[in-house]
Chains A and B, each alone.
Chain A
Amino acid sequence: MTEVLSTHGLVARYGDFQALYDVDVEVHEGEAVALIGANGAGKSTFLRAILGLLPVKPEMVHLDGKPIGGTPTDRMVQKGVAIVPEGRRLFTGMSVSDNLRVAIDQTSRLGRKGGWTLKRLYQLFPILEEKAKTPVQSLSGGQQQMVSIGRALLCQPRLLLCDEISLGLAPRVIREIYTALPEIRAHGTSIVVVEQDVGLAKSASDRLYCMLEGRVTLTGRSEEITREQIGEAYFGGGHAVV
């Protein structure tokens, strides 16, 4: 399998504070990779570093084998990396369709081709079509998450980064959203999911990485990794999960 994204000794800092230490992660084509770990482990920081929201050296991040670390976020999106950010980050004051149109505008401006259309998206999340004219701030949390996913898909990504998309959602809604992931992969899109919920992360991924304190402490095939291994990697040595 060819690598879509890989990081090599990725280091990131906020001012004087180092948040990531030598992180090596790779994502192959068509693969779903999960990133788990406690709060503050560096998962979101990792995504931000890839997306050019933190200063990193070019050779630390490779896309299709080419060094691209530190490329501005909008250029990363143009190269086919889209994100469903933590907290959804929708454009408040704008309607559902306008939120989605922003992404369509940009891909058409740049002439990026891809399989995602508004119609197809509405098939995936029918509720969004119903709410097309509604301002996003009056949607429920789950519907907002769908808009956020939709906005990322309309960027026609080859690699989709999902940052805690289950956060604060009801289990039923989480299931609904996670069932969309295989459909997205069917388009040939590789996925990185950042999750706190280990069960969800395991079931939605082929491989997983566990992070602790800015370092990768465990990696392997999702179905092979045991709960005890995760517990140890999740909280640091010696702790068992419940």
Chain B
Amino acid sequence: MQWFDALIQGILLGGMYAQYALGMALMFGVMRIVNVSHGDLVILLSLIGISLASSFGLGPFAVMAALVPLAVALGWILQRAVLNRVVGEDPLPSLIATFGLSLALQNLMLQIWSANSRSLPGGGIESRSIEIGGIYIGLLPVIVLLVATGLTLGLDLVLKRMRFGRALRAASADVEAAAMTGINPRSVYAMATAIAVGILGFAAVFQSLRSTVAPSDGGAQLIYAFEAVIIGGMGSVWGAFAGSMVLGIAQAIGFRIDPGFGVLSGHIVFLLVLALRPQGLFGRA
């Protein structure tokens, strides 16, 4: 029973991680870029959300309504101003640029919001839970999981069905050939990053509802997103989703064994996947 509970909690936790991982999988799939400041962007958005909530007395969903468009704009600017200049064969420039960005963002946040942990008041939804057969399931984690599933489904549909999705897939298969078909790679990239960061707008609200955030937390979120993408196997949004579930379950079970072992057991599953199935659990060999 205890382990079944851990499994459920793990899946719910996975819903949170999926919201970080989707954007990372998208950006890597399309541009072969890993944005090191991915986690810092979540934290930045969270802190902006918290400030909005406290200054204007907004509820969590109003904050989300404000935050997601802001995140989309942020992503678009990030791509136009920085990443479009460093996309290319050599992974070093993009890595260094986003690394520097991460350093700057973290310290900028420290300056503005101080090192204190904060959280978003949720008006009670963060503590409500339902009991099913002796297992307490938090309402908020369920919402998180549902939103994550919806986002994955939506992104998958966009990629498969929409004009923009086709352009994105074309650019990720062969960017030069895509340009030869009339696609402007830079705008497609900008849209991709706008979506990737836009998803972080949702993640930021949920992250700051379910726990506290502090300027230095970004690194951890980046690592979770990264682990989920690798565990799931690069190449598809559902791979990233499934990888997030595995990571969440690994952490939840580890946490049951020993509270100090939670995050570590996620890392260990990641390293095991790397050792035994480097293409990822659901990736093509």
Contacts and interface: CB of A to CB of B under 8 A. Distances in A.
Is B truly associated with A?
Answer: yes
Interface string A63-89: 000000000111101100011010001
Nearest to A51: B180
A94 interface: yes
A101 B166 contact: yes
B23 to A, nearest CB: 20
A98 B166 contact: yes
Given A90-B177, A91-B174, A155 B169 contact: no
A232 B115 CA distance: 76
A110 B181 CA distance: 12
A151 B178 CA distance: 10
Interface in B166-199: 166-167, 169-170, 173-174, 176-185
A103 interface: yes
A217 interface: no
A90 B173 CA distance: 8
B163 A94 contact: no
Interface in B143-176: 163, 166-167, 169-170, 173-174, 176
Contacts of A152: 180
A94 B168 CA distance: 11
B182 A77 contact: yes
Contact of A74 (B163, B166, B173, B182): B182
Nearest to B185: A74
A53 interface: yes
A210 to B, nearest CB: 25
Contacts of B170: 91, 94, 99, 102
A110 B176 CA distance: 19
A102 B179 contact: no
Interface string B246-282: 0000000000000000000000000000000000000
Nearest to A103: B181
Interface of A: 51, 53, 72-75, 77-78, 82-83, 85, 89-94, 98-99, 101-103, 105-107, 109-110, 151-152, 155
